[in-house]
Amino acid sequence: MRHEFTPTKFYYTFGPHQPALRVRPSDTIVTQTLDSSSRGPDGQEVPQEMQHQSPGTTVYAANPQTGPFYVEGAGVGDMLAVHIEEITPNRSWAESRFVPGFGVFAPEDRACGPTGLSDPLPERSFIWELDLERQVGRLELPQSTLAQIEISLHPFFGCIGTAPRFGEVISSITPAEHGGNMDCVDTGIGATVYLPVFVEGAYLMFGDVHAAQGDGESCGVGLETPARVQVTVDLIRGKAIHWPRIEDETHIMVAGSARPLIDAYRIAHVELIRWLAADYGFDQWEAMQVVSQVGTARVGNVVDPKYTVVAKFPKAYLLG
Total residues at interface with its own copies (CB under 8 A): 107
Q: Pick between residue 67 and residue 256 the one whose CB is nearest to its own copies.
A: 256
> Hey, which residues between 123 and 182 contact its own copies (CB under 8 A)?
124, 126, 128, 137, 139, 141, 143-146, 149, 151, 165-171, 173, 177
Q: Which of 43, 73, 190, 214 binds its own copies (CB under 8 A)?
A: 214
**Residue from 27, 99, 307, 308 binding its own copies (CB under 8 A):** 307
- Among 250, 272, 263, 89, which Cα is nearest to 176's? 263
For residues 308 and 257, the answer to whether their CB atoms sit within 8 Å is yes
Say which residues have a Cβ less than 8 Å from residue 123's Cβ, sequence separation at least 6: 97, 98, 99, 100
CB of residue 187 vs its own copies: minimum separation in angstroms? Answer: 17
Is residue 11 within 8 Å of 65, Cβ to Cβ?
yes
Which of residues 222, 232, 241, 251 is near its own copies by CB under 8 A? Answer: 222
Which residues, numbered 250-289, are part of the site for its own copies (CB under 8 A)? 256, 258-263, 265-267, 269-271, 273, 280-289
Smallest gap from Cβ 274 to its own copies, in A, equals 8
Strand pairing category for 175-176 and 179-180? antiparallel
Q: How long, in residues, is the chain?
A: 320
Binding mask 53-92 for its own copies (x = CB under 8 A): xxxxx--x---------------xx---------------
CA angle 118, 123, 125 (to 5 degrees): 160
**Sign of the C-alpha dihedral computed for residues 59, 188, 251 and 149 taken in this order:** negative
